[in-house]
Amino acid sequence: MGLSNQAAFETANRFFPGGVNSPVRAFKSVGGVPPFIDRGEGGYIYDIENNRYIDFVQSWGPLILGHAYPAVIEAVVRTARKGLSFGAPTTLENELAELILSVYDFLEKLRFVSTGTEAVMTALRLARGVTGRSDIVKFRGCYHGHSDSLLAEAGSGAATFGAPSSPGVPLDLAKHTLIAEYNDAAGAEKLFAERGGEIACVAIEPIAGNMGLVPAEESFLRGLRALCDRYGAILIFDEVMSGFRAAKNGACGFTRVRPDIVTLGKVIGGGLPVAAIGGKQAVMDHLSPIGKIYQAGTLSGNPVAMAAGIATLRTIIDTPNLYETLGARAAKLVRGFKEAANDRGVALETAFRGSMFGFFFNEKPVRNFDDALASDSARFVKFHSAMLKKGVYLAPSQFETGFISIAVNDEMIDETIAAARSAY
């Protein structure tokens, strides 16, 4: 008999805090032992006990083509045979940049890094350096990685200054993070009226994916664009999750608002660690080596990761109606979830943007983090456990987004909806 998930988790707890190398993998919020994955095939993953699951996590977003997509694997293997890393430029960096800029055509230059956290951290430094200001605005419930400036939460009472949300984050740093409410245009305007001359940038997930899926309203985004223009601040769209996911051009497929800086990740690496910062040349050229704002990375533009990204984006760009197909499947899934919940007398709110979807056990629409927190988390835990037993792998948190790959077909969607009917 092979190794069990329970035994693997017990061993992992000897080596890693909580038995994992990223907190949400521990299943702490849903209980039980996380499956230890052995392999992925298309829309499925298999654990070390050989249990098969329909995968709606997809490595937290990157695998829009599914697991082990042949063109991506072939590109990775072919490139790896030449060497894993050189610490020097390769033409693969140019190829991936050209593909990205052909879609995000309002951007002019990029800088590749390895993680989304690193991308947003660099975007903040760039905005502060360009404007000469220190304060940044973020929104409750949006997650932009674990850099110190962004691990801040709202202060008590009417305070707008950030307070550290994790030990190890200095108060003197967190206080430069101003906290506002998502989808609250009036609140953002009030904050700028009070602090506008000190605000370097606004960082926002235009399609929030870390309080569950909560899209920003068009009027809200227009208001932020106008405030940044009026006060000379930089508008940053964090599209690490939504870029090439919600639509080919991410959130820009749903809004006419265009930011000054975009951060990208996940899909552009096709499953390997790649992220990027993009903006107009006048902004990007402030980065070293031609500008004074320092940023560096030993593995930035890693050739194997570049190859995976190129193969993924070429497939996306060359596949007709890919996003229409993904959107139709996401719509079918959340519609099925909603209908099954209604039949059981269970309150459920759903949303989707392209291949991203979310659901809340909530009686009211979810527009911000407070709305999300009002959801029935106990019912989510019960639902998640039941779905896992039925072979459906959902994100192990009420406050994460689900993803559909092109390998998840209509039959698998039907199977998932059928599972949901008996899981509520």
pLDDT tens track for 325-368 = 999 999 999 999 999 999 999 999 999 999 999 999 999 999 99
Rounded mean pLDDT of 80-102?
97
Confidence label for 189 from pLDDT (cuts 50, 70 and 90): very high
pLDDT at 153 over 90: no
- 40 within a domain of the structure (yes/no): yes
pLDDT at 157 over 70: no
Q: Mark whether 215 and 85 lie in a shared domain.
A: yes
- 61 within a domain of the structure (yes/no): no
Confidence label for 170 from pLDDT (cuts 50, 70 and 90): confident
Burial letters 350-376, b for 16+ CB under 10 A, else e: bbbbbbbbbbbbbeeebbbbebbbebb
**Please, what is the end-to-end C-alpha distance for the chain in angstroms?**
34
Rounded mean pLDDT of 404-415?
98
Mean pLDDT of the chain: 94
Q: Mark whether 209 and 281 lie in a shared domain.
A: yes
- Three-state SS at 82: coil
Q: Mark whether 39 and 98 lie in a shared domain.
A: no
Q: Mark whether 239 and 301 lie in a shared domain.
A: yes
Q: Mark whether 345 and 286 lie in a shared domain.
A: no
Respond yes or no: is residue 338 known to be catalytic: no
pLDDT at 95 over 50: yes
pLDDT at 43 over 90: yes
The catalytically annotated residue of 53, 104, 143, 424 is 143
Cα 317–chain centre separation: 20
pLDDT at 394 over 60: yes
| Residues 205 and 137: beta-carbon distance below 8 Å | no
pLDDT tens digits, residue range 299-330? 999 999 999 999 999 999 999 999 999 999 99
- 392 within a domain of the structure (yes/no): yes
Q: Which amino acid is at 41?
A: E
Q: The domain spanning residue 352 has which CATH number? A: 3.90.1150.10
Give the domain-ending residue among 270, 285, 318: 318
Rounded mean pLDDT of 138-164?
68
- 330 within a domain of the structure (yes/no): yes
User: How many residues in total does the chain contain?
Assistant: 424
Domain of 354 in residue numbering reads as 5-56+321-421
Q: Mark whether 186 and 314 lie in a shared domain.
A: yes
What pLDDT, on a 0 to 100 scale, did the predictor assign at position 159?
35
| Residues 264 and 276: beta-carbon distance below 8 Å | yes
What pLDDT, on a 0 to 100 scale, did the predictor assign at position 164?
62
**10 Å Cβ neighbour count for 338?**
16
Q: The domain spanning residue 309 has which CATH number? A: 3.40.640.10
Give the start-end residues of each E strand in 87-213. Answer: 109-113, 135-139, 152-154, 162-164, 177-180, 199-204, 207-208
User: What is the edge-to-edge ordering of all strands in the sheet holding 234-239?
Assistant: 109-113, 275-279, 261-264, 234-239, 199-204, 135-139, 177-180
Confidence label for 155 from pLDDT (cuts 50, 70 and 90): very low
Q: Mark whether 295 and 361 lie in a shared domain.
A: no
Q: Specify the residue for token string 């790649």.
A: 274
Q: Mark whether 207 and 244 lie in a shared domain.
A: yes
| Residues 275 and 301: beta-carbon distance below 8 Å | no
- 64 within a domain of the structure (yes/no): no
| Residues 255 and 279: beta-carbon distance below 8 Å | no
The catalytically annotated residue of 69, 266, 323, 393 is 266
Respond yes or no: is residue 135 known to be catalytic: no
- 65 within a domain of the structure (yes/no): no
Rounded mean pLDDT of 44-50?
98
pLDDT at 400 over 50: yes
HSE value, Cβ hemisphere, 13 Å, CA-based, for 262? 31
Q: Specify the residue for token string 């552009």.
A: 268
| Residues 247 and 254: beta-carbon distance below 8 Å | yes
Q: Mark whether 20 and 81 lie in a shared domain.
A: no
Give the domain-ending residue among 300, 318, 336: 318
Q: Mark whether 204 and 327 lie in a shared domain.
A: no
List of long-range contacts for 371-376, beta carbons under 8 Å, 24+ apart: 371/214, 372/141, 372/211, 372/212, 372/214, 372/398, 372/399, 375/212, 376/347
pLDDT tens digits, residue range 112-122? 999 999 999 99
Give the domain-ending residue among 293, 318, 343: 318
Q: Mark whether 35 and 80 lie in a shared domain.
A: no
What pLDDT, on a 0 to 100 scale, did the predictor assign at position 158?
32
Respond yes or no: is residue 231 known to be catalytic: no
pLDDT tens digits, residue range 212-223? 999 999 999 999
C-alpha to C-alpha distance for 50 and 323, rounded to whole angstroms: 31
Confidence label for 147 from pLDDT (cuts 50, 70 and 90): confident
Rounded mean pLDDT of 54-71?
98
- 172 within a domain of the structure (yes/no): yes
Q: Mark whether 22 and 149 lie in a shared domain.
A: no
Closest CA to 182 of 401, 404, 373: 373
The catalytically annotated residue of 184, 238, 260, 371 is 238
Q: How many domains does the chain have?
A: 2
Confidence label for 23 from pLDDT (cuts 50, 70 and 90): confident
pLDDT at 232 over 60: yes
- 372 within a domain of the structure (yes/no): yes
C-alpha to C-alpha distance for 19 and 29, rounded to whole angstroms: 14
